[in-house]
Chain A
């Protein structure tokens, strides 16, 4: 069993901690950094409730060891409302009723955030494929798709206005 010092950037702040090699990134984020917005829904890389961005890419943080994130830029749901202003995705989920119990929501938003960077003007089918690694037990997904469409339009309009 080995302990390792890891240094990574989480939500723009550099953090250094000593962790066991087997410490999962999701536990590191939730327990060591007390960022509890990232959730755990399964133990099989299935549900996506633990999705965070690592170097800009959404990954399931229950399947990444904290030591593997050495030197990485990690973004969690807590970073999304920059300066206390809701991101268009957060607005969209609120406006379109894209959540009920809220448990899958942070992972869903993190996935959608990167998806809209890659695909700013997606079709409904592309959105559904884009979030196919995230499970929601409450909504039936339609409202989530509408929320992402709302955000895509808002982001497009904002980009056009600049």
Chain B
């Protein structure tokens, strides 16, 4: 019966320091389970960034007015992670730290150029999201570190973002999904970052697609070229959700739709 988990020991630390010392004691054998604690649970703007406590439940992103009003890409993402019941239990930090390319937050955080804050026996450090995902289910944290906070830079003026996900049914992983965050200078794309979901072994940025956008004046042809570049540079595996060609083409469409939506938002639309 796979529904029944294997036996394990359980500790419920009351503080971050207690958690860190337990991690050291059980180095390499412990897995962090976000539980009943209310540690590290917040979503708020602090100076130049949005700070999200790693143990923040996904539903808190959905409900947050600052996220809804100023971080459209993150809000889009929060609405399509798993299903509403899972979002009441799942945490933002868990979604990222698991380093699963099928999860939705990695692509979004890549597009936002987020910074991750971790704490370990040697103290606190920050890791740029571009350096965080090191392999399938592998990240740049050491065994005795805990992810404590995610920092998303406050979008500059004339910025917009969007997450578009294609899934077989609610609760399933994406066949493909695209996270786009960009800034416009008139009709020219001044900056753009694009993250892709579930079309590579390691969460990836579509840098080829970004290059097709940055510095260009927006047109259907430019957006199409970005979509095609993403389709070419992604590396999906064939599975029950579809074959490689299909997933590439879905990626092209997701990237285009996210760009179109992000542009509309950058221009002041919703």
Contacts and interface: CB of A to CB of B under 8 A. Distances in A.
- Verify that A and B bind, or say they do not: yes
B5 A133 contact: no
14 contacts: A21-B9, A22-B5, A42-B3, A43-B3, A45-B171, A48-B83, A58-B84, A58-B88, A59-B88, A60-B86, A65-B10, A129-B84, A133-B82, A133-B170
B2 to A, nearest CB: 5
B33 interface: yes
Interface of B: 1-10, 12, 33, 35-36, 59, 82-86, 88-89, 170-171
Nearest to B34: A68
Interface in A104-162: 111, 115, 129-130, 132-134
Given A21-B10, A51-B85, A130-B84, 16 more contacts: A20-B7, A22-B4, A22-B8, A24-B3, A43-B3, A45-B171, A57-B59, A57-B88, A58-B85, A65-B33, A70-B35, A70-B36, A132-B171, A133-B86, A133-B170, A134-B85
B36 A60 contact: no
Contacts of B3: 24, 40, 42-43, 62
Nearest to B88: A57
Contacts of A4: 10
Interface of A: 1-2, 4, 20-22, 24, 40, 42-43, 45-46, 48, 51, 57-60, 62-65, 67-72, 111, 115, 129-130, 132-134
Contact of B36 (A72, A133, A134): A72
A160 B33 CA distance: 43
Nearest to A118: B63
Contacts of A72: 36
Contacts, number: 80
Contacts of B12: 67, 70
A87 B82 CA distance: 29
Given A58-B88, A60-B89, A68-B35, A46 B171 contact: yes
Nearest to A71: B36
Of the listed residues A62, A63, A69, the one surrounded by the most CB atoms of chain B closer than 10 A to its CB is A63
Which 7 pairs between the two chains have the least Cβ-Cβ distance?
A: A133-B83, A43-B3, A21-B10, A133-B85, A1-B7, A132-B170, A57-B88
A22 B171 contact: no
Nearest to A20: B7
A124 to B, nearest CB: 16
